[in-house]
Structure 1
Amino acid sequence: MAHSAADLVAGANVLVPPLALDAARELLGAASVRFVDIREVREWERTGTIPGAYRASRGMLEFWVDPASPYYRPSLDDGRRLVLYCASAWRSALAAATLFQMGLTDVTHIDGGFTAWRSAGYPVERIGH
Protein backbone atom coordinates (compact mmCIF):
# COMPACT_ATOMS: atom_id res chain seq x y z
CA MET A 1 0.00 0.00 0.00
CA ALA A 2 1.51 3.32 -1.07
CA HIS A 3 -0.47 5.38 1.46
CA SER A 4 -2.26 4.26 4.58
CA ALA A 5 -5.59 5.63 5.71
CA ALA A 6 -3.72 7.54 8.42
CA ASP A 7 -1.51 9.11 5.73
CA LEU A 8 -4.57 10.26 3.80
CA VAL A 9 -6.15 11.74 6.93
CA ALA A 10 -2.91 13.56 7.81
CA GLY A 11 -2.75 15.03 4.31
CA ALA A 12 -6.40 16.08 4.50
CA ASN A 13 -5.74 17.83 7.81
CA VAL A 14 -2.94 19.82 6.19
CA LEU A 15 -5.29 20.92 3.41
CA VAL A 16 -8.20 21.66 5.76
CA PRO A 17 -7.05 21.96 9.37
CA PRO A 18 -9.56 20.72 11.95
CA LEU A 19 -11.49 23.14 14.11
CA ALA A 20 -10.69 22.91 17.83
CA LEU A 21 -13.49 21.36 19.87
CA ASP A 22 -14.06 24.46 22.01
CA ALA A 23 -14.12 26.70 18.93
CA ALA A 24 -16.71 24.41 17.36
CA ARG A 25 -18.87 24.61 20.49
CA GLU A 26 -18.77 28.42 20.29
CA LEU A 27 -20.20 28.23 16.75
CA LEU A 28 -23.22 26.14 17.74
CA GLY A 29 -26.34 28.12 16.90
CA ALA A 30 -24.55 30.70 14.74
CA ALA A 31 -26.68 31.66 11.74
CA SER A 32 -23.63 31.65 9.47
CA VAL A 33 -22.67 28.03 10.25
CA ARG A 34 -24.19 24.67 9.36
CA PHE A 35 -23.00 21.63 11.30
CA VAL A 36 -23.07 18.51 9.12
CA ASP A 37 -23.09 15.04 10.63
CA ILE A 38 -21.58 12.70 8.04
CA ARG A 39 -21.91 9.52 10.10
CA GLU A 40 -24.29 6.73 9.11
CA VAL A 41 -27.91 6.50 10.17
CA ARG A 42 -27.22 3.73 12.71
CA GLU A 43 -24.68 5.99 14.41
CA TRP A 44 -27.18 8.86 14.59
CA GLU A 45 -29.82 6.60 16.09
CA ARG A 46 -27.43 4.99 18.58
CA THR A 47 -25.61 8.07 19.91
CA GLY A 48 -27.59 11.13 18.80
CA THR A 49 -26.21 14.14 16.98
CA ILE A 50 -25.21 17.74 17.59
CA PRO A 51 -28.43 19.77 17.96
CA GLY A 52 -29.59 21.21 14.66
CA ALA A 53 -26.97 19.36 12.61
CA TYR A 54 -27.80 18.50 9.03
CA ARG A 55 -27.46 14.76 8.54
CA ALA A 56 -25.67 13.81 5.32
CA SER A 57 -24.05 10.40 5.30
CA ARG A 58 -20.50 10.32 3.98
CA GLY A 59 -21.45 8.21 0.98
CA MET A 60 -23.67 10.93 -0.51
CA LEU A 61 -21.98 14.14 0.63
CA GLU A 62 -20.16 15.06 -2.60
CA PHE A 63 -23.30 14.44 -4.64
CA TRP A 64 -25.44 16.53 -2.29
CA VAL A 65 -23.16 19.60 -2.52
CA ASP A 66 -22.68 19.48 -6.31
CA PRO A 67 -25.27 21.62 -8.16
CA ALA A 68 -24.74 19.49 -11.28
CA SER A 69 -25.69 16.29 -9.46
CA PRO A 70 -29.23 14.90 -9.59
CA TYR A 71 -28.88 14.44 -5.80
CA TYR A 72 -28.05 18.11 -5.11
CA ARG A 73 -29.33 19.54 -1.81
CA PRO A 74 -29.51 23.37 -1.84
CA SER A 75 -29.49 23.42 1.97
CA LEU A 76 -25.81 22.44 1.85
CA ASP A 77 -25.08 25.28 -0.58
CA ASP A 78 -26.69 28.28 1.09
CA GLY A 79 -23.55 30.29 1.85
CA ARG A 80 -23.05 29.05 5.39
CA ARG A 81 -19.74 27.71 6.66
CA LEU A 82 -19.88 23.91 6.77
CA VAL A 83 -18.55 22.28 9.93
CA LEU A 84 -18.38 18.54 9.29
CA TYR A 85 -18.01 15.82 11.87
CA CYS A 86 -17.94 12.06 12.12
CA ALA A 87 -17.21 9.82 15.11
CA SER A 88 -13.49 10.49 15.45
CA ALA A 89 -12.48 13.03 12.76
CA TRP A 90 -11.07 10.62 10.18
CA ARG A 91 -13.99 10.49 7.75
CA SER A 92 -14.69 14.17 8.28
CA ALA A 93 -11.07 15.08 7.51
CA LEU A 94 -11.27 13.25 4.18
CA ALA A 95 -14.71 14.72 3.44
CA ALA A 96 -13.64 18.29 4.25
CA ALA A 97 -10.59 17.94 2.01
CA THR A 98 -12.72 16.57 -0.82
CA LEU A 99 -15.25 19.41 -0.54
CA PHE A 100 -12.39 21.91 -0.48
CA GLN A 101 -10.98 20.34 -3.65
CA MET A 102 -14.46 20.62 -5.19
CA GLY A 103 -14.32 24.38 -4.59
CA LEU A 104 -15.98 24.87 -1.20
CA THR A 105 -13.50 27.05 0.64
CA ASP A 106 -15.50 27.66 3.83
CA VAL A 107 -15.46 24.10 5.14
CA THR A 108 -13.81 22.54 8.17
CA HIS A 109 -14.31 19.63 10.54
CA ILE A 110 -14.33 19.14 14.30
CA ASP A 111 -11.12 17.90 15.88
CA GLY A 112 -11.93 14.67 17.70
CA GLY A 113 -15.35 14.36 16.09
CA PHE A 114 -18.61 13.52 17.82
CA THR A 115 -16.87 11.27 20.33
CA ALA A 116 -14.86 14.23 21.66
CA TRP A 117 -17.96 16.47 21.54
CA ARG A 118 -19.99 14.05 23.64
CA SER A 119 -17.09 13.35 26.03
CA ALA A 120 -16.80 17.10 26.67
CA GLY A 121 -20.42 17.14 27.81
CA TYR A 122 -21.56 19.36 24.96
CA PRO A 123 -25.22 19.24 23.85
CA VAL A 124 -26.47 16.12 22.11
CA GLU A 125 -29.85 15.65 20.46
CA ARG A 126 -31.41 12.20 20.39
CA ILE A 127 -32.79 11.00 17.05
CA GLY A 128 -36.25 9.42 17.01
CA HIS A 129 -36.83 6.14 15.25
Structure 2
Amino acid sequence: MANVVKGYQDYLAEAEAVIEQVNTAQAIALHQQGDVIFIDVRDVRELERDGMISGAYHCARGMLEFWADAKSPYHKDVFANSEQVLIVYCAAAWRSALATKTLVEMGFINAKQYVDGLTAWKEAGAPTQRKEKV
Protein backbone atom coordinates (compact mmCIF):
# COMPACT_ATOMS: atom_id res chain seq x y z
CA MET A 1 0.00 0.00 0.00
CA ALA A 2 1.30 3.43 -0.94
CA ASN A 3 2.24 5.82 1.84
CA VAL A 4 -0.01 8.74 0.94
CA VAL A 5 1.17 11.94 2.56
CA LYS A 6 -1.81 14.04 1.52
CA GLY A 7 -5.04 12.35 0.55
CA TYR A 8 -8.18 13.37 -1.27
CA GLN A 9 -9.93 14.26 1.98
CA ASP A 10 -7.19 16.78 2.71
CA TYR A 11 -7.65 18.38 -0.71
CA LEU A 12 -11.42 18.48 -0.25
CA ALA A 13 -11.13 20.07 3.20
CA GLU A 14 -8.76 22.71 1.84
CA ALA A 15 -11.15 23.49 -1.01
CA GLU A 16 -14.25 23.64 1.15
CA ALA A 17 -12.50 26.06 3.52
CA VAL A 18 -12.08 28.69 0.79
CA ILE A 19 -14.95 28.27 -1.68
CA GLU A 20 -18.51 29.46 -1.55
CA GLN A 21 -21.09 26.71 -1.75
CA VAL A 22 -24.73 26.84 -2.79
CA ASN A 23 -27.39 24.26 -2.04
CA THR A 24 -30.14 22.99 -4.33
CA ALA A 25 -32.66 25.72 -3.53
CA GLN A 26 -30.04 28.42 -4.09
CA ALA A 27 -28.80 26.77 -7.29
CA ILE A 28 -32.31 26.54 -8.72
CA ALA A 29 -32.95 30.21 -7.90
CA LEU A 30 -29.68 31.20 -9.60
CA HIS A 31 -30.55 29.04 -12.62
CA GLN A 32 -33.91 30.78 -12.92
CA GLN A 33 -32.20 34.19 -12.91
CA GLY A 34 -30.49 33.23 -16.13
CA ASP A 35 -27.39 35.37 -15.65
CA VAL A 36 -25.15 32.59 -14.32
CA ILE A 37 -23.28 29.82 -16.07
CA PHE A 38 -23.43 26.30 -14.72
CA ILE A 39 -20.22 24.35 -15.36
CA ASP A 40 -20.48 20.55 -15.41
CA VAL A 41 -17.08 18.99 -14.67
CA ARG A 42 -18.13 15.35 -14.97
CA ASP A 43 -16.84 12.89 -17.54
CA VAL A 44 -18.65 12.95 -20.89
CA ARG A 45 -19.85 9.36 -20.34
CA GLU A 46 -21.66 10.52 -17.21
CA LEU A 47 -23.39 13.26 -19.17
CA GLU A 48 -24.49 10.81 -21.84
CA ARG A 49 -25.79 8.40 -19.20
CA ASP A 50 -27.36 10.83 -16.69
CA GLY A 51 -27.99 14.07 -18.56
CA MET A 52 -27.01 17.49 -17.28
CA ILE A 53 -28.48 20.69 -15.91
CA SER A 54 -30.32 22.53 -18.68
CA GLY A 55 -28.10 25.10 -20.31
CA ALA A 56 -24.96 23.96 -18.48
CA TYR A 57 -21.57 24.10 -20.13
CA HIS A 58 -19.54 20.90 -20.07
CA CYS A 59 -15.88 21.20 -19.12
CA ALA A 60 -14.31 17.92 -18.08
CA ARG A 61 -12.31 18.37 -14.87
CA GLY A 62 -9.08 17.45 -16.62
CA MET A 63 -9.41 20.37 -19.07
CA LEU A 64 -10.51 23.10 -16.67
CA GLU A 65 -7.20 24.90 -16.21
CA PHE A 66 -6.52 24.85 -19.95
CA TRP A 67 -9.97 26.09 -20.95
CA ALA A 68 -10.18 28.76 -18.23
CA ASP A 69 -6.76 30.33 -18.85
CA ALA A 70 -7.00 33.08 -21.47
CA LYS A 71 -3.35 32.49 -22.38
CA SER A 72 -3.93 28.82 -23.17
CA PRO A 73 -4.31 27.69 -26.78
CA TYR A 74 -7.33 25.70 -25.52
CA HIS A 75 -9.11 28.68 -23.91
CA LYS A 76 -12.91 28.69 -24.22
CA ASP A 77 -14.97 31.89 -24.41
CA VAL A 78 -17.28 30.74 -21.60
CA PHE A 79 -14.37 31.64 -19.29
CA ALA A 80 -13.72 35.06 -20.85
CA ASN A 81 -15.19 37.09 -17.95
CA SER A 82 -13.51 36.44 -14.62
CA GLU A 83 -16.37 38.25 -12.84
CA GLN A 84 -19.10 36.02 -14.33
CA VAL A 85 -20.98 33.94 -11.76
CA LEU A 86 -20.00 30.33 -12.37
CA ILE A 87 -21.77 27.49 -10.58
CA VAL A 88 -19.62 24.36 -10.73
CA TYR A 89 -21.13 20.93 -10.19
CA CYS A 90 -20.50 17.22 -10.56
CA ALA A 91 -22.11 14.08 -9.19
CA ALA A 92 -20.85 13.84 -5.60
CA ALA A 93 -19.39 17.32 -4.98
CA TRP A 94 -15.77 16.16 -4.89
CA ARG A 95 -14.62 17.16 -8.35
CA SER A 96 -16.67 20.34 -8.22
CA ALA A 97 -15.07 21.39 -4.92
CA LEU A 98 -11.58 21.00 -6.38
CA ALA A 99 -12.61 22.64 -9.65
CA THR A 100 -14.20 25.60 -7.89
CA LYS A 101 -11.09 26.13 -5.76
CA THR A 102 -8.99 26.07 -8.92
CA LEU A 103 -11.20 28.66 -10.62
CA VAL A 104 -11.07 30.94 -7.57
CA GLU A 105 -7.27 30.62 -7.50
CA MET A 106 -7.22 31.51 -11.21
CA GLY A 107 -9.10 34.74 -10.49
CA PHE A 108 -12.73 33.76 -11.10
CA ILE A 109 -13.98 35.65 -8.08
CA ASN A 110 -17.61 34.57 -8.44
CA ALA A 111 -17.08 30.84 -8.89
CA LYS A 112 -19.27 28.85 -6.50
CA GLN A 113 -19.79 25.14 -5.96
CA TYR A 114 -23.22 23.56 -6.24
CA VAL A 115 -22.63 21.22 -3.35
CA ASP A 116 -25.63 18.87 -3.72
CA GLY A 117 -24.85 17.65 -7.24
CA LEU A 118 -26.88 16.47 -10.18
CA THR A 119 -28.79 13.77 -8.28
CA ALA A 120 -30.30 16.31 -5.89
CA TRP A 121 -31.03 18.64 -8.81
CA LYS A 122 -33.00 15.92 -10.55
CA GLU A 123 -34.78 14.88 -7.33
CA ALA A 124 -35.93 18.51 -6.96
CA GLY A 125 -37.50 18.34 -10.42
CA ALA A 126 -35.22 21.07 -11.76
CA PRO A 127 -34.68 21.20 -15.54
CA THR A 128 -32.22 18.85 -17.19
CA GLN A 129 -31.24 18.05 -20.73
CA ARG A 130 -29.82 15.04 -22.52
CA LYS A 131 -26.24 14.98 -23.72
CA GLU A 132 -26.09 13.23 -27.05
CA LYS A 133 -23.20 10.93 -27.81
CA VAL A 134 -20.64 12.46 -30.12
Deviations 1:6-62 (A, max 9, x none): 221121011103211110010114342100111111000000000000111111011
Whether contact under 8 Å (1:50, 1:124) holds in the other structure is: yes
Structure 2: state its 5+ residue gaps.
none
Q: Does 1:74 align with 2:85?
A: no
Q: Does 1:9 align with 2:12?
A: yes
Residue in 2 that maps onto 1:111: 115
Structure 1: state its 5+ residue gaps.
none
Q: Does 1:101 align with 2:105?
A: yes
Distance, in Å, in 2 between the alignment partners of 1:98 and 1:32 is 22
Distance, in Å, in 1 between the alignment partners of 2:123 and 2:5 is 34
Secondary structure at the residue paired with 2:38?
A: strand
Q: How large is the RMSD of aligned CA atoms in angstroms?
A: 1.3
Deviations 1:71-121 (A, max 9, x none): 001122234211010111100000100111111111011112112212222
Residue in 1 that maps onto 2:30: 27
Q: Does 1:88 align with 2:92?
A: yes
Q: Does 1:125 align with 2:126?
A: no
Distance, in Å, in 2 between the alignment partners of 1:61 and 1:29 is 25
Task: Give 1:44's match in structure 2, choosing from 47, 57, 81.
Answer: 47
Whether contact under 8 Å (1:88, 1:116) holds in the other structure is: no
Whether contact under 8 Å (1:39, 1:57) holds in the other structure is: yes
Give the TM-score normalised by structure 1: 0.92
Distance, in Å, in 1 between the alignment partners of 2:124 and 2:17 is 25
- Bigger radius of gyration among the two: 2
Alignment of 1:48-63 (within 5 A): 48-63=51-66
Q: What percentage of aligned pairs have identical amino acids?
A: 41
Instruction: Count matched residues.
Output: 129
